[in-house]
C-alpha cells in the first residue's frame, strides 16, 4: 500500500510571527482606610504609582470608619483594624493632628472636628486663629501616624514637621489647616507650596515614605 505523503510543516517567516504580550500586575494591593478624598489623592501622589492603592469605595465599604480613641496613634490603629478585621484585606490608615504649643497641644487628636462635629475646614481655621489672637508664641507641629496591617500584623510609622501658625490664611492649595501652617525654614504656607514640594516635607509625606521603605523590604 502506498503511504500518504506527509506535507512539510510550513515555516512562518520571523517577521510574520504573531506574539502575545501578557503583563501581569505585580504591584502590591493595599486599601487606604479613609473617607477623606483629599488624603486619598495626596497619598496616591506620594506613593507615585509604586503600589496599587484601593479606596474604601473600591471594596464596597461605605460605612463611617470609627475613630473614637483619645490619641492619634490609637485612631490610626482603630481604623486599620476595623477594615482588616471586616474585609480581610491588607490595609493602612492614618490619623493626623495639628499641635499648637501655646494651646497645650490643641487641637491634636480633635483636629478634624475642632470647631464641632459637622464643622468645615474653614470653621477649624477660624477657631485656631481666634484662639491665637494676641499670642506671640505661635509654634506648632503637624503629626501623622500610619498604621499598616499586613497579614494580620500591625506596623506603625510617624511623620512630624515643625513650624508656626500664620496670622492670616495664605494660599489656596492643600486642605485643612494648610493655609495657616508655615513649615520651619520656609516663607510659604503649606497652601502656597506646589503639591510635590509639600508632599516631600510634610508630616504625611514623611510617614508615607517610611511606609514605602518598609513595604520594599517585604
Examine the residue annotation and report whether 85 is marked as an active-site residue of this protein: no
- For 175, the grid coordinates are 486642605
Taking a C-beta distance cutoff of 8 angstroms, is the pair 203, 161 a contact? yes
Spatial strand order in the sheet of 181-183: 52-54, 29-32, 91-100, 139-150, 153-165, 181-183
Dihedral sign for Cα 98, 72, 68, 92, please: positive
Angle, alpha carbons 85-40-23 (nearest 5°):
85
Taking a C-beta distance cutoff of 8 angstroms, is the pair 91, 83 a contact? yes
Residue 184 to residue 53: CA distance in whole angstroms: 31
Kindly give the pairing relationship between strand 52-54 and strand 29-32. parallel
Q: Exactly one of 48, 95, 123, 178 is catalytic; which is it?
A: 95
- Please give the positions annotated as active site: 95
Amino acid at each position: 500500500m502506498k503511504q500518504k505523503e506527509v506535507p512539510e510543516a510550513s515555516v512562518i517567516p520571523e517577521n510574520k510571527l504573531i506574539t502575545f504580550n501578557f503583563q501581569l500586575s505585580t504591584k502590591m494591593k493595599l486599601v487606604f482606610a479613609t473617607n477623606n478624598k483629599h488624603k486619598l489623592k495626596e497619598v496616591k501622589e506620594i506613593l507615585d504609582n509604586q503600589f496599587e492603592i484601593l479606596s474604601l469605595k473600591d471594596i464596597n465599604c461605605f460605612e463611617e470608619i470609627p475613630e473614637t480613641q483619645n490619641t492619634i496613634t490609637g485612631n490610626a490603629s482603630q481604623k486599620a483594624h476595623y477594615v482588616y478585621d471586616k474585609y480581610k484585606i491588607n490595609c493602612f490608615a492614618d490619623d493626623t493632628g495639628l499641635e499648637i504649643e501655646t494651646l497645650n497641644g490643641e487641637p491634636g487628636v480633635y483636629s478634624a472636628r475642632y470647631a464641632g462635629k459637622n464643622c468645615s475646614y474653614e470653621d477649624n481655621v477660624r477657631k485656631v486663629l481666634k484662639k491665637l489672637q494676641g499670642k506671640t508664641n505661635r509654634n506648632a507641629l503637624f503629626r501623622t501616624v500610619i498604621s499598616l496591617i499586613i497579614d494580620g500584623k500591625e506596623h506603625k510609622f510617624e511623620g512630624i514637621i515643625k513650624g508656626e501658625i500664620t496670622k492670616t490664611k495664605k494660599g489656596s492649595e492643600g486642605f485643612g489647616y494648610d493655609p495657616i501652617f508655615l513649615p520651619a525654614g520656609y516663607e510659604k504656607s503649606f497652601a502656597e507650596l506646589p503639591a510635590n514640594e509639600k508632599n516631600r516635607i510634610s508630616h504625611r509625606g514623611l510617614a508615607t515614605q517610611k511606609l514605602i521603605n518598609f513595604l520594599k523590604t517585604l
